[in-house]
Structure 1
């Protein structure tokens, strides 16, 4: 049986990426394990960036903008996920700097109406040879600008 994820509804900023919570993502109490939330966010970002042609395929030099590291992760758990099924991750950029960015996220219901967890993550683009901060490419910056949350 093959099931395609339904298209997520539009949001006023960022993107809503469908994700699936599986039975084995739940802990002994039947709740989504706390470590699974950031994993689902990571998978949603990977899917979103793949759509822009940005991906890591084993070669750090060829990875370009995908050569980056997490500097900070903050997450707040708002309500428990208590069953497997269709959910979504709402993704957006809060800040797009020269070598770093801050993105926001929410793990939410498939329609985006209910928030289960939310947070931010800071990434730094790295030079593959030196592992020092390096500027994002203009291609990446153009994609990032589409995801920026407006100040209002």
Structure 2
């Protein structure tokens, strides 16, 4: 992996999903001055939290009140493409690849603030849980309606 300038722009306007602002701070960098690999999942999670909070879904410490926010990660995968070497403004491109009855798969890119340069990309599988049994439970119709706006066309 080269520390040279990022790869040329690979996208124009987003054909799907949303860009959520993100910020890399000095303490997010490792000893080599690169965004630490463990920070990417954290920054993606913060972006999802901000997005869903804006759309009325937020976890407030009680599993029953959490409703659709009562979920667990089943799988997480990430690939690193262009290192982040500077603090500053970036973005997380978020979308849904699949919306099932009790689970979903979302895709993400950690990218430049305008979305043109990809630093990392991946996916994560979530399962909605029943707060009493911790077994899979269907997403609410309200959540499904909001989530459909993020679905990536096949």
TM range (shorter): over 0.9
Residue deviations 1:50-85, cap 9 Å, x none?
Answer: 011001001000100000000000000001000100
Q: Secondary structure at the match of 1:136?
A: coil
Find out whether 1:68 has 2:67 as its counterpart.
no
Aligned to 1:51: 54
Residue deviations 1:6-41, cap 9 Å, x none?
Answer: xxx962211000000000000000000000000000
- State the 4+ residue runs in structure 1 displaced beyond 4 angstroms: none
Conserved 8 A contact 1:74-1:120: yes
- Number of residue pairs matched by the alignment: 143
Q: Secondary structure at the match of 1:147?
A: coil
* Rounded Cα–Cα distance in structure 2 between residues aligned with 1:20 and 1:10: 21
Conserved 8 A contact 1:67-1:126: yes
Q: Secondary structure at the match of 2:105?
A: strand
Find out whether 1:11 has 2:14 as its counterpart.
yes
* Rounded Cα–Cα distance in structure 1 between residues aligned with 2:13 and 2:76: 26
* Rounded Cα–Cα distance in structure 1 between residues aligned with 2:38 and 2:146: 28
2:108 to 97, 105, 109: 105
Find out whether 1:30 has 2:33 as its counterpart.
yes
TM-score (norm 1): 0.93
* Rounded Cα–Cα distance in structure 1 between residues aligned with 2:53 and 2:123: 20
1:119 to 102, 118, 122: 122
* Rounded Cα–Cα distance in structure 1 between residues aligned with 2:137 and 2:90: 35
| Structure 2 unmatched runs, 5+ | 1-11
* Rounded Cα–Cα distance in structure 2 between residues aligned with 1:85 and 1:52: 26
| Structure 1 unmatched runs, 5+ | 1-8
* Rounded Cα–Cα distance in structure 1 between residues aligned with 2:85 and 2:39: 13
Aligned to 1:83: 86
Conserved 8 A contact 1:68-1:124: yes
Residue deviations 1:117-149, cap 9 Å, x none?
Answer: 000000000000000000000000001100000
